Structure 1
Amino acid sequence: MSDSDDEVPQLSAATLAALQEFYAEKEAGHTTVNSSYTVGAIKEDWRMSQFWYSDETALRLAEEAIHHAGKRGRIACISAPSVYQKLKQLGSERKDESCQVSAVLFEFDQRFAAYGDEFIFYDYNNPLCLPEDVLPQSFDIVVVDPPYLSEECLNKVALTVKYLTKSKILLCTGAIMEEHAEKHMGVKMCSYLPKHNHNLANEFRCYVNYELSLLT
């Protein structure tokens, strides 16, 4: 061993222990942030017609929304907490600017109020009852999953969507709603087949009013 090797400064045992504790706490905090946004972190409640997407579907929908929101874009998730959770997870995991979008969850279930200012209570029966600071056409894309497969529900939710979006709409609902989806939101069915953690009795599809990029 050379003299230069002997001169390499060494951390004391106390300093090394403190450094290890710091990194452990930092990693634990990062894990807590990610886990709180994991799809399924809040259990679905079938009484409120809640059926969470599979992790793969939530990821595909989130990435599609990020792509079309653009750099530092704004995304509204209406009754689609799985997509909101995945957007937040991607934002904390990926540091590139393309994933640094802002997302807001419009949701009836008050349990999601745990997400703070990015949660807005939403009841489709009062589609335009929104906080004053939610401005018209203030979101680059709206991802929406109406809670019920009925024209009445879709029609009311469409009022909210048209108020919020600058133009782009990504709708997830049953295949049987195709005619109503085009009528009320001007969207067309695409080929991508979304999946849920639990199989649904009705065939589920995605609809958009723009040219797809990732959902093929």
Structure 2
Amino acid sequence: MDGDDDIPSLSAETFAALQEFYAEQQKRQEILNKLEADNKLKENILFDENWQLSQFWYDETTVQSLVKVVDRSVGEGGRVALISCPTLFVPVKRQIGDRATVTLLEYDRRFEVHAPDFVFYDYNTPDKLPPEALGSYDLVVADPPFLSEECISKTAQTIKLLANNKIVVCTGAVMKDMVLQLLGLNLCEFQPHHRNNLANEFSCYANFNLDEILR
């Protein structure tokens, strides 16, 4: 018998999947190389806002405040999920990455450079999540990208699927009643702000005393 007969062959479907995997790896590496060349890897914010995706980055004071909240709310071996708030990933990872797991759930695939801590997330399919993630996060921080009932409702579904304890939601003040109705969160004194001043007033909501941490 010819020795080559013992070598398993890949199906067309498997081969295509492998090609896609290696192409994604190559693309991710190219982005990392460019970020390194531009000396951006040490910055908190790696990419510019994409307004078509309703991206508005937090200002530095807001970032540091939320990092402090995460740091004080998650213990050794804890797990944090960041939904649609990529501004927070790098500083949170720097602060607690040596003692806790930090996962970014995000629609913008530029942030795949953070793999394996990146999970592609589309609020239109709120339950499309890794099975091992369900009910596994001690803290979920979410910033729904759009100020609409549909977006907050579907993001709330995701939050409920992931969270086993603490929840923080940053969104427009106009969504207060929806956040209370869907998640039972309380309005905080702390208010998030953005690098580009937005016309809409933003608020923060939590199911624990977030303001006490920031005092």
Specify if TM > 0.5: yes
Find the partner of 1:48 among 48, 53, 57. 53
Selected match of 1:80 from 73, 82, 85: 85
Residue 35 of structure 1: CA displacement? 4.6
Name the SS of the counterpart of 1:214 in structure 2: helix
DSSP-derived class of the 1:141 partner: strand
The yes-or-no answer on 1:199 pairing with 2:204 is no
**Counterpart in the other structure of 2:114:** 115
The residue identity in structure 1 corresponding to 2:201 is E
CA distance in 1, matches of 2:109, 2:42: 16
Superposition map of 1:106-145 within 5 A: 106-134=105-133, 136-145=134-143
Does the aligned pair in 2 maintain the 1:128–1:160 contact within 8 Å?
yes
Answer yes or no: is the 8 Å Cα contact 2:83–2:104 preserved in 1: yes
Q: Number of aligned pairs?
A: 178
Q: Are residue 146 (structure 1) and residue 144 (structure 2) matched?
A: yes
Which residue of 2 is the match for residue 176 of structure 1? 174
**8 Å Cα contact 2:58/2:87 also seen in 1:** yes
State the SS of the aligned residue for 2:103: strand
* Shift, 1:37, TM fit: 5.8
Question: How much has 1:74 moved relative to structure 2?
Answer: 0.7
> Structure 2 counterpart of 1:53, which letter?
Y
**8 A contact 1:191–1:215 mirrored in 2:** no
Structure 1: how far apart are the matches of 2:92 and 2:76?
A: 14
Match of 1:69 in 2: 74
Query: Would the aligned equivalents of 2:45 and 2:90 in 1 still touch at CA under 8 Å?
Result: no
Distance 1:47 1:117 in 2: 26
Alignment match, 1:100: 99
Give distance in 1, aligned partners of 2:83 and 2:138. 14
User: CA contact under 8 A between 2:136 and 2:162: conserved in structure 1?
Assistant: yes
For residues 102-146 of structure 1, the C-alpha deviation after alignment (integer angstroms, 9 at most, x for no partner) is 200000000000111100000000000112332x21000000000
Paired residues of 1:140 and 1:166 also in contact (CA < 8 A) = yes
Q: Which amino acid aligns with 2:100?
A: V
Structure with the greater alpha carbon radius of gyration: 1
Name the amino acid aligned to 2:131: E
Between the aligned partners of 1:127 and 1:170, the Cα distance in structure 2 is 17
User: Identity of aligned pairs, percent?
Assistant: 40
CA distance in 2, matches of 1:37, 1:177: 34
Q: CA RMSD in A?
A: 2.0
- Equivalent of 1:38 in 36, 39, 43: 43
**CA distances 1:25-46 after superposition (whole Å, capped 9, x unpaired):** xxxxxx99x9526232111101
SS in 2 for 1:87: helix
* Distance change in 2, residues 1:168/1:131 (3 Å): same
Q: How far, CA to CA, are the matches of 2:207 and 2:131 in structure 1?
A: 27
Q: Normalised by the size of structure 2, how large is the TM-score?
A: 0.77
Residues 107 and 122, structure 1, Cα contact 8 Å, conserved in 2: yes
**Which segments of 5 or more consecutive residues in structure 2 lack a partner in the other structure?**
1-35
Secondary structure of the structure 1 residue equivalent to 2:110: helix
